Amino acid sequence: MNTFTYKYPVTVYFGEKAAANNLPAELAKTGKNVLLAYGGGSVKKNGIYGELMELLTAAGKTVTEFSGIMSNPTYAKVQEGAKLAKENHIDFILAVGGGSVMDCCKVISAQAKTEEDLWELETVKHGGPTEFIPMGAVVTAFGTGAEMNNGAVITNEEKKVKGPLWGAFYNFAILDPAYTMSMPMGQVISGSFDALSHCMETYMGAPRETNLSDEINEACQRNIIRNLRATLKDPKDTAARSELVWAAAMGENGILKIGKVTDFQAHMLEHQLGAYTDCNHGKGLAVIHPVLYRHMLPEAAPQFARLAVNVWGVDPAGKTEEELALAFIDTLASFIREAGLPVTFSEMGIDRATDFKAVADSTVLTGGCCKKFTKEELLEVLNECL
């Protein structure tokens, strides 16, 4: 294990009626003016909006609504929210939705408390925000684990960059699996794969020898695979949904990353693909992972072999390390097909007209990846994904 310091700030309220049972006490700690942020309005159709408004009204809050946060939140949307927060003297932000809403609000929380342009501050000046509007999250779409950290993935359309910005941690997160039961099945599947990807990207980092963080990680991966299969059989399986919601949170709450330098090269490549195509994140990852992993195989064989045996149940008898590593990639690819996820960009409507060279050239090369990719190799990966 590497040397580490572990501290975790987010209070998690998990389970049935988590909002009704815990939100009143949390709201009592906040100021009067609340920004209620959400996406396209599904929270109004499924009744969650009404429940939360009742709680906010009972707490005596003045509510300003900020809606229309898109699936790949833009920096322009962040600025719109920050302006609204300033104008209405917002004391607290309640983010209701999935990763896009939660990421957008993390940056709004910071941007509303500074006159500096946050993108410029973080990416050019290499500084960071120091003041934030306090926040709470109500998770209605799982997968990203965005409620668990202060990182946000934001698309700067002007610069053609989809990348990380750092904002506020949530004071608390409401995780009621019942709130996720109205998610479209396609979103459940892509969100589950995103959660699995987070686990794999963390696992593939250093140290690469067996360690406790990775052994916990293996259990999380097995859990996601098992419960996604159960959900595919019965989308109303509440026990399986509960496991998936918590597994997604585990992927990003820092526990699996203790003592690790993570990889996340697949994520960086998919983010830039998203900047040029606005594609679905989980689907993009599903296409990229097996192809990228075949390029990584010589350097990553020991870890791939462990995943084959410990996560996917491949029988190691009579197999070399390389054969086990290949079996892991093949089994992962088969699972992607089993889940109904795309295996090529073409299935996603992404074709050769896409400027893959620009995507590759603008992709961050991650230091934790066991293979040191070049931009040219990433371009090869993208072309092989077609």
Q: Report yes or no on 157 lying in a domain.
A: yes
Q: In Å, what is the CA distance from 85 to each residue of 33, 74, 159, 329? A: 9, 17, 25, 46
Per-residue pLDDT tens digits for 365-374:
999 999 999 9
At which of 180, 203, 223 does a domain end? 180
Three-state SS letters, 7-59 = CCCCEEEECCCHHHHHHHHHHCCCCCEEEEECCCCHHHHCCHHHHHHHHHHHC
Count of CA atoms in the C-beta half-sphere (13 A) of 64: 17
Q: Are residues 298 and 364 in the same domain?
A: yes
Q: Report yes or no on 358 lying in a domain.
A: yes
Q: Report yes or no on 2 lying in a domain.
A: no
Q: Tell me: pLDDT of 7 over 80.
A: no
pLDDT score recorded for residue 8: 82
Residue 148 sits in a domain whose CATH number is 3.40.50.1970
pLDDT score recorded for residue 265: 98
Under 8 Å between Cβ of 204 and 369: yes
Per-residue pLDDT tens digits for 103-142:
999 999 999 999 999 999 999 999 999 999 999 999 999 9
- Rounded Cα distance between 100 and 162, Å, is 12
Per-residue pLDDT tens digits for 11-38:
999 999 999 999 999 999 999 999 999 9
Mean pLDDT along residues 276-302:
97
Q: Tell me: pLDDT of 285 over 70.
A: yes
pLDDT score recorded for residue 58: 98
Provide the domain limits for residue 339: 185-384
Residue with tokens 């509007």, as numbered in its chain: 133
pLDDT score recorded for residue 338: 98
Q: Are residues 193 and 325 in the same domain?
A: yes
- Rounded Cα distance between 115 and 244, Å, is 39
Per-residue pLDDT tens digits for 183-224:
999 999 999 999 999 999 999 999 999 999 999 999 999 999
Residue 372 sits in a domain whose CATH number is 1.20.1090.10
Q: Tell me: pLDDT of 3 over 90.
A: no
Q: pTM score > 0.85 for this model?
A: yes
pLDDT score recorded for residue 1: 59
Could you give the angle at the alpha carbon of 282 between the alpha carbons of 267 and 265, nearest 5°? 10
Q: Which of 18-22, 40-44, 273-277 has the lowest mean pLDDT?
A: 40-44
Q: Tell me: pLDDT of 6 over 90.
A: no
Q: Which two tokens stand for residue 73?
A: 């939140």
Mean pLDDT along residues 162-178:
96
Per-residue pLDDT tens digits for 82-114:
999 999 999 999 999 999 999 999 999 999 999
Instruction: Look up residue 329 and give its amino acid.
Output: I
Domain total of the chain = 2
DSSP 148: G
Mean pLDDT for all residues in the chain: 96
Positive or negative: CA dihedral 356, 270, 202, 361: positive
Mean pLDDT along residues 4-16:
85
Q: Are residues 115 and 249 in the same domain?
A: no
Instruction: Look up residue 155 and give its amino acid.
Output: T
At which of 161, 180, 199 does a domain end? 180
Taking residue 24's Cβ as centre, other Cβ atoms within 10 Å add up to: 13
Residue with tokens 């409620």, as numbered in its chain: 147
pLDDT class for 41, splitting at 50, 70, 90?
confident
pLDDT class for 4, splitting at 50, 70, 90?
low
Per-residue pLDDT tens digits for 233-262:
999 999 999 999 999 999 999 999 999 999
Q: Are residues 320 and 362 in the same domain?
A: yes
Q: Are residues 255 and 270 in the same domain?
A: yes
